[in-house]
Each structure stands twice: as structure tokens, then as C-alpha cells.
Chain A
Amino acid sequence: MTGQFRKPEDATAFRAAISQWQLAARTEVKRYSSLPSSMFDACDPTLEARLTESVEALMHFLHQPEAEALAKNNSSEHIEMRAESVLPEELAKLPQQVRGEEPEVNLESGVSAEYLSLLIDACTTGDDATQEASRALLQQDFAVAINSDLHEATKAMMQCLQDLDANEQEDADQANHDRFTELCSAIAASVIVESHTENHPEREPQ
């Protein structure tokens, strides 16, 4: 009986739910009463509904949720707890470990080289959509000429590096290191992308 009062799980809109509930309630009350609905409506239109609610409450009481089962299911006994321990000596020496002047940090450092490396990785490990997107970005952002020869690709990369160099403002060592990394990356990119497209001609960009 309770099941008929409960909101059907596929009716999540409240107006439909109310209508269904009212219909179910009227049917249910009628089933256990020889009196016509009009008699209820005549004295108190909400009487039928309230009667239904009382029945519903009673049935809910008789069908309490399975609290024990829920509690058991949520038991955390099976979780293996990990504990990291730290010695007082380790805490004590933290001020020394942190002490000292730090060199200037350039948040932009290594961004281009990292980006290039990731695009190359995506070119060769991603699915078709990723490969296509990463090749497009390689061409767009690094001017990697995918189907050109290595010499041309390297020239394009050198141009790309010169452009980067023009914007470089940080100290020379770091800049040189970054440029060198990017240069190596760029050349490797051309090789990898080229050999990949040769090995997978069906994946060449449209």
C-alpha cells in the first residue's frame, strides 16, 4: 500500500507528482471506504488528503529505513590508514633549510619548451582528435611544418626561437638554457612529427 503513495521515481516534476499522489490517495481511500469521494469533498476538501497522509505516515513508520544496513555499508573498517610521522629534529631544522636569499624567479621560464614537449606527446599518444588538435597547435604556435623536411623545419624553429629571444628579458644564463632546450625540442619535434606522419599516413591532417 505504501508503495502506491510514494512518488514514482520517474516523475520528478512536482505538479505531476502531486497529481499522481492525489489520484493514488483517492483511489486508496476509496478502496477502503464505501463512501463516495463527493462526501469527503462536501465537508472538507482536504479531509481525504489528510486521511491519506495519516495512512502514509503509519506505513512509513512500519517501513523504517534500513539504518543498520546503511551503517554497516558505510563502515570504514576496511580502509587502510596511512600515517606519516615527522621527527621533532626535522621540524627544528626547518628554519635553516628555508634560510637564504633566493634568485629571481621568472614565472614564464620554460613555458614554451614544456608546451612544445606536451604537444609532441599528444601528437603521438592521443586519440585521433587529440592528434589532430595538437598538430594544428604545433603549426599555429611553433610553425612546425609537419610535412616539410628536417632542414626546413629547423629553419622554421630557428625563426621561432629568434622571436622568443626578442621577448626574452630575463638573465642571460637562464635565457640561454631555455633557448637551447627549446631549440633541441624543436628539432626533435620536427623529426618525431615527421616520422610519425610517415608511419601513420592515414592520420595526416586534413
Chain B
Amino acid sequence: MSAKSISMLQRSAVIDFAHALVNAVLNRLLHARDSRFVGEAMQEVVTTLTAANNLGVEQPLQLQIDGLRLCHDGRALEGPSLQARSLLEHCAVRNIAMLSFRSGLNSAEANRLFDLLLLPENVEALDRNYREATLIAFGIQHIRVTLQNPADPDNRRIALDEQGRALNHYQNLATALQQNHRLAQGDHELAADVTATAVERAVNDFDEPSMLLSLSMQDDVDRFTVGHSVRVALLALQVARAVGANREQLVHLGSAALMHDIGKSKVPQEILFKQGRLTEEEWQWMAQHPRLGAQILIEQHESVDPRTIGAAFCHHMGAEGGGYPEPLMPTPPSATSRLIRVCDVFEALTAVRPYKRALTPIEAFAIMFRNAKDFDPHWLRRFTKTLGLFPVGTHVQMQDGAKALVVKQTTDIHHPIVTLLTGAGGEALSSGQPDTIETGVPRNGATPIIAGISTHDRYLPMPDFDPDDPAEVGPMAHDACLSQHPHDHPH
């Protein structure tokens, strides 16, 4: 571990590199070794390594592997770790404790590393007896592989704390989904049972999935279709729990949400990952993914739960019509599909995409209410109430300048419980000062109020919320669509 701490910019560059590495593994598992997608993924590894180098990240860039997480400089890279299960498992089988990358790496060399890390015939390639010869033979000069020392107590199997268990479940869900996307892409029978099992285990282990959710709300979360589906599933489970769904319903719902984008496995990758506007023809392809997904699921020999088929087909359909695709015989989407649609849009709005920045949850809520007619109004409100305007894991700044982290919701959606990370004005917390407070509740003559939200790249100030005086903030013209819902405008 380096004694020198790194700047936020440098850490962000390391996270980008780790994401690129994880993405490269996924592409190697999904595509032919010498396909264009693998080539581009390897180039991204090289580019992000170069970028980290240019920002002064200590060379070689070392990624430690602790079984569940990728770490750098002794700190876990939670976001990249969420989808790193394949990489971590392959490293574990090979007893790899650390991978070190030096500048000068090229994409072909990176690709050869994955020959060693991923191919079953190379499980022994990095054993102490072969490692040096293998690296030379494979022309790998800019990557070093450090093996675990069996005597090192740090390398013994770690007991999982709550966050470790959450990460484990997240990885299980992501892996199950990756497996099914690969199977669907190759026209093979899906492993729907693997998905259901992963969901069931997560449901059984976590009465309150907010820990899982907060994992996915960090700034450095993964940016792939699979990650999107996992987060949609976690969001849907969170809301369904809040409305009292039973265990069986949760498993059905979680599986449906997890598989809702399975049709994308049939959309050409050039279209799916195009960084720019789609042509009309490309859009027609893209718009087919819900129907393609339903058809994939219908064709399975083992019957797939109807909710899963429905979610695959209906997650872009409006609650009262609109959206796509248009079924031959229009029928309103089921409650399950309508909930998944809300979660799907929210996740898309709050996720980073190459063509847009991530919106904060509260901005996403505002946009969804602006377009409320596209959603089931009950689910939209329940969803917002369940998550709260400041979901667990949100970094906020209090009016006195203290920085805090949202740790729990209350019945008041804009007054969560927070853990103070600093004192007033950003100073260190004084001894004896409580570090967990309920916002909006007066204490010591002052009422702690959230002044704004901090993300890794911006600060969003909050307005004065005044739910008791709706006249003060009347509806806006473009919200006319909400007027049909009496709850929205009680006066």
C-alpha cells in the first residue's frame, strides 16, 4: 500500500481503469478473442492506464484482489468490483493477489493477459514454476502478477460483514444475468433458475435491500447493461418490500426485473453501444428489444414466469398507452411491469452514460413527475416515498456546512437520517458530537436541514421544501398532465 494519498482526480482515473479492466473481461467472455469489441475493450484498458499515468497515479498501477473486491492503494474500488466477479474468480483460482500495470502496455499485450487469466487451459500458467516463462512467452512485459503468499493471514478466507455480503449478492446477481445474456446471445437455453436462485438468496439474506442499493448508488458504479438490470431489480425489490410483498412475489419480481433487458442480447452491439444518435434504421432495431426479449423467454423449454415475459415486453410501455412496442392486442401492462418501468427509467436517469451525466435521484424524480403520464401514478409516488428524495448513500451538505451521508429514511421524504462526516463548515467533528442525526428535527436550538447534494463532479443546492404551503409553489404549465391525480394538488 502506498503511504501517499491520491487526489480525487487520480482515484477517479484508477476507477476508470478498473472499470475498463472489468469491461475487458466481460467482452472476452462474450465475444471472440479477436473481435472488434474485444479490441476496443483492450484499447480502453490502455487508454485509461495512460490517462492515470498522465495524472500522476503512482506507477506501476497496482490493483489488489481480496476475493470480493478490487482495491487500489488499500481502498476498495466498490463500483468496478460490482461486476468483477468473473475477474476475481479467475484470479482466485490462480492465487493472484495483485496485478500491476506499467505504462507502455498495448492492447494486444492486454489481450494476451486475459488468455492467461480466463482460459481454462491456462489455470496453471501463472504458478510459481511457470510464471516468468509464461509472461515472457506471451510477450507480457508491462504487467506483473503477484501471487498470494499462503502464509499471509490476510489471504485466508475473509468473514463477510454486511457490506461484504451485499457485494457478494450484487456480484451473484450480475453474474447470473451475464450468464443469461451470453446464453441468449448464442441462442442457447437460458439458465433462468440461476437468476431466480440469485434473487432468492439476496431476498432471504437481506430484509432491507438498501445496503445493496446504496452500493449501486456510488459515483463509481459500473456502467453496463447488466449493472443497469441489477440496479433495476434492487430498486423494484425495495419498493415491493415496502408495500408488503411476500417472499415468493419478491423472487418473481426480482427475476422479472433482472431479465427485463434480455432482448438487448439480440440487438447488434454496434447499435447497443453506439455513442451518438441512432439512425432511423438503428432505432427500429433498438425498439425491437422488448419484443425480442419476450420471444426469447417464450421459446424456453422450461416455462418462464409470466411476469418475467411481461416485464421484458412491457418495460417501455406507458401505463395508459404510449411507448413501445405496440402489442397486437393492446392490454395495460401488469402491476409488475409498471413498477419495473418506473425503476428502469429512474435508473437510466441516475446512471452515467457516455452521452449524459448522471442526474441526482431528486432530479430524476422531478423529471419523472414532469412526465408523470408515462408512469403508473401510484407506483411513481410509492417509489419516491420508499427511496426518499435523498436515498440512502447520498452525500449531502447541511446548511451549517457540515458534510453528511444519508443512512436511513424517515416518514418525511425530505428529512432523512444522516451520519455526519464533518462538523460545521467542514471542520472535524468535535468529540462528544453525535454523528447521526435526524434532519428536520430541532436539536440544541437549531434544525439541521439539507442544503445541497454533493456528487463527485458537482454540488446541487436544494430549494426550501414547504409541503404545508402548496400555494407557494403552484403547478407549472408543463405539469398539466398531473392534474388528473387529486393527490398531487389537494387544493
Contact = CB atoms under 8 A, between A and B. Distances in A.
Given A94-B389, A100-B490, A102-B381, A114 B310 contact: yes
A65 B46 contact: yes
A115 B310 contact: yes
Contact of A12 (B33, B309, B414, B462): B33
Interface in B294-331: 294-295, 298-300, 303, 306-307, 309-310, 313-314, 327-331
Nearest to A116: B331
Interface in B96-116: 104-107, 109, 112, 115-116
A116 B333 CA distance: 11
B295 A189 contact: no
B369 A56 contact: no
Interface string A54-83: 001100100011110011011010111111
A32 interface: no
Q: Is the interface of A mostly helix, strand, loop or mixed?
A: helix
Contacts of A125: 291, 328
Contacts of A22: 133, 137
Given A17-B138, A81-B356, A107-B245, A65 B104 contact: yes
A102 to B, nearest CB: 5
Contacts, number: 264
Nearest to A127: B295
A83 B355 CA distance: 9
A137 B134 contact: no
A121 B329 contact: yes
A106 interface: yes
Interface residues of B, number: 99
B297 to A, nearest CB: 9
B329 A188 contact: yes
Interface string B112-152: 10011001011011000010011011110100000000000
Contacts of B378: 102-103, 105
19 contacts: A14-B134, A64-B106, A71-B50, A74-B44, A91-B363, A96-B488, A100-B381, A105-B243, A107-B240, A107-B243, A107-B336, A108-B249, A109-B334, A114-B310, A114-B313, A117-B331, A118-B314, A118-B327, A133-B300
Interface of B: 33-34, 43-44, 46-47, 50, 104-107, 109, 112, 115-116, 119, 121-122, 124-125, 130, 133-134, 136-139, 141, 240, 243, 245, 249, 253, 275-277, 291, 294-295, 298-300, 303, 306-307, 309-310, 313-314, 327-337, 339, 349, 354-357, 359, 362-363, 365-367, 369-370, 378-379, 381-382, 384-385, 389, 413-414, 461-467, 470, 473, 475-476, 482, 487-490
